[in-house]
Amino acid sequence: MKKVERINIIMRYINNRAHFTISELMQEFNISRSTAIRDIREIEAMGMPLVAEVGRDGGYFVMHNSVLPEVRFTDNEVKALFIAFMATRNQQLPYLKSRQSLAEKLLGLISKNQQDDLVLLNQILLFEGTNPNNPDLLELSDLPHPMLEKLIQILLLDNYLQITINEEDAIKTYPIYLLYLYKEKSVWMIEGFDLKEERKQIFPVDNLTDVIAYSPKKRVSRKKILEKLSNQEIFNLVLEIGPKAISQYKKYHPFKVSISYTNPYQTTAILKTFINVNKTEELIEFTNWLLFLGEDIKIREMPEEVLDILKERYCLFFP
pLDDT, averaged across the chain: 82
Question: Between 102 and 209, where is the model more confident?
Answer: 209
Residue 94 is which amino acid?
P
DSSP-derived 3-state class of residue 183: strand
User: Is the predicted pLDDT of residue 9 greater than 50, yes or no?
Assistant: yes
Query: In the chain, what is the straight-line distance between the N-terminal and C-terminal CA atoms, in Å?
Result: 54
Residue among 208, 200, 221 nearest 276 (CA) = 200
Burial class (CB in 10 A: 0-12, 13-18, 19+), 192: buried
Mean pLDDT confidence for 46-71: 67
Report pLDDT digits (tens) over 265-312: 889 999 998 888 888 888 888 889 999 998 899 999 999 988 888 888
CA-CA distance, 240 to 269, in Å (whole number)? Answer: 6
Domains and CATH numbers, the chain: 3-62 (1.10.10.10), 72-144 (no CATH), 146-232 (2.30.30.520), 237-317 (no CATH)
